[in-house]
Structure 1
Amino acid sequence: MIPPAEPDASPWPAGLRIRAAILGYIILLLITWLTASDVLAAVCQVVLISVVLLPGLEARRPSAWLGWIALVVAVGMLTRAGQAHLVLDLVPIAVNLGLALLFAHSLRTPHTPMIARAIIAIEGVERLRLPGIAVYARRLTLAWTLIFCAQGVLFIAVQFWLLPTLPMESSARAWAVGWQHVGGYLLPILFMICEYAFRRWHFRKLPHASAQQFFRQLVRNWPQLLHDAASNRERNG
């Protein structure tokens, strides 16, 4: 079972801080598109890096802080070379392929599938022990792996094959770039909503949390998805 999280000393809950940082990133991203500023593009990247590494940074893990410093220095060097916008365009590719690798890795023995970790974090380990839940969690983890992988490959094709053929001021290019940075997040959200509805029907004999409670718990407890209970038991056993 996942151990309880350490008390949060900040007056802002972790989930609220993460949502505020993501909102700030989106606002900065929109301003960057409007101003074409390399400095703002670099700031966007630093904000995104900080959001991704926030659990490790708050826990004062040396690896997280060293990674943050290295990435921020790299962003600064690329900005100095005038390549900040290129790195920003590569963010959707890195996010999707990174998530695909993370989900795929969790499917390997002795690791706990990512969706199983979500169930433990949101509803408790007892929920995972109910008939059919563990198998469903593994299959859903595989489905998410395929979605992230497919979208990452699609973004690679858009970035390196489609965009170079489109004029800089064309509406088609604007739509393609917009899909990479904004629209690409709509497919996972749509899949999550459809899967939630299917799960409630498929396991209709089991009690379910309301949609509002489910997503609130997901936002609040998402850092626990990085906790691999099965792998820890293997190392400690």
Structure 2
Amino acid sequence: MTSSSLSPDHATRRYGLLLLPAYPLLAIAGVLTQRQVFALLALALLLTALMLPQLLARRVLPWLSWSGAQAGLLVAWRCGLAGLLLEAVPVLINALLAGWFGRTLGTAEPLVARFIVAIEGDERLRQPGVAAYARQITWFWAVLLAAQALLLAVLLLCADHDGLLARVGVVSPLPVPAGWAATWLHLGGYLLLAAAFTLEYVYRRWRLRHLHHPGLHDMLLQLALHWPQLLRGKRPAAP
């Protein structure tokens, strides 16, 4: 699919994705400089990127929700809590994604199967070995993301000096250097997921080498453009 053939809705989601790379840069700037304004900007940018399709639809409710959330971020910034909210974002993202993958395992269409249908159609899922592989990889992502969420929560709680336990005066049972904790929270965790995604793609091409596979760039683009279909699914839950 070329850029010129994208529907307005698809183009909007693509533009929203272009904003996301600035988020980790602002987050890291906040960690390195210890200035809350960078945390505020990172949170505001993330919220805007996620809500961009609804905002550009020019409906009142999304704009009210966005304005209220931005006002809440300003209040948190004034109270010195923007950095804490930013640190909690990776934990929340991983926990939500783990729940998303995990919930679909109880249905006839695990999440990776939805990915396959969205990118390559129903026929692809009926080819030998594809449906079983899709369920196995859905399990893999559910477990990896849950473990990552747990690790990030421990880092958020136990970091020296600025962990949640240290902030309330409780001695951490598992002290973690603050620099290491911040680096993994805002960079390492995302790099791990990117590496896991890339390695799974390579493994899939070997495991299902009897099939043709789309390029990595095309696959990522189609996933981004079809995320509403991924949220809804198509098949009924398994009995």
TM-score w.r.t. length of structure 1: 0.80
**Which of 35-44 and 150-159 deviates more?**
35-44
Deviation at residue 85 of structure 1 after TM alignment: 0.6
Q: Is the deviation greater in 186-195 or in 71-80?
A: 71-80
Write out aligned runs for 1:83-122 (5 A): 83-109=81-107, 112-122=109-119
Counterpart secondary structure, 1:208: coil
Match of 1:221 in 2: 226
- 1:8 maps to 8
Instruction: Specify the code of the residue in structure 1 equivalent to 2:180.
Output: W
The 5 Å alignment of 1:1-237 reads: 7-8=7-8, 13-14=11-12, 16-58=14-56, 65=63, 67-109=65-107, 112-164=109-161, 172-231=177-236
Q: Given that residues 57 and 64 in structure 1 are in contact (C-alpha distance below 8 angstroms), is that contact kept between their aligned partners in structure 2?
A: yes
Distance 1:191 1:176, change over 3 A: same
CA contact (8 A) 2:113 2:134 kept: yes
Q: Which amino acid aligns with 2:197?
A: M
Deviation at 1:215, TM superposition (A): 3.2
Verify the 8 A CA contact 1:117 1:227 in the aligned structure 2: no
**Using the alignment, how far apart are the partners of 2:232 and 2:63 within structure 1?**
19
Asked if the contact 1:21/1:51 (under 8 Å) is kept, the reply is yes
2:169 maps to what in 1? none
Paired residue secondary structure (2:210): coil
Structure 1 residue 196 displacement after superposition: 1.1
- 1:199 aligned counterpart, secondary structure: helix
In the TM superposition, residue 223 of structure 1 has moved relative to its aligned partner by 4.5
> Residues 107 and 141 of structure 1 are in contact (CA less than 8 Å); yes or no, is this contact kept in structure 2?
yes
Q: Which amino acid aligns with 1:227?
A: R
Q: SS of 1:72's equivalent? A: helix
Query: What secondary structure, in the 3-state scheme, does the structure 2 residue paired with 1:229 have?
Result: coil
Give the RMSD, CA atoms, in angstroms.
3.1
Give the structure 1 partner of residue 172 of structure 2.
none
Using the alignment, how far apart are the partners of 1:74 and 1:91 within structure 2? 15
In structure 2, C-alpha distance between the alignment counterparts of 1:44 and 1:189, rounded to whole Å = 20
Distance in 2 between residues matched to 1:62 and 1:227, nearest whole Å: 24
Contact persistence 1:55–1:223 (CA under 8 A)? no
- Percent identical among aligned pairs is 34
Show structure 1 runs of 5+ residues with no match: none
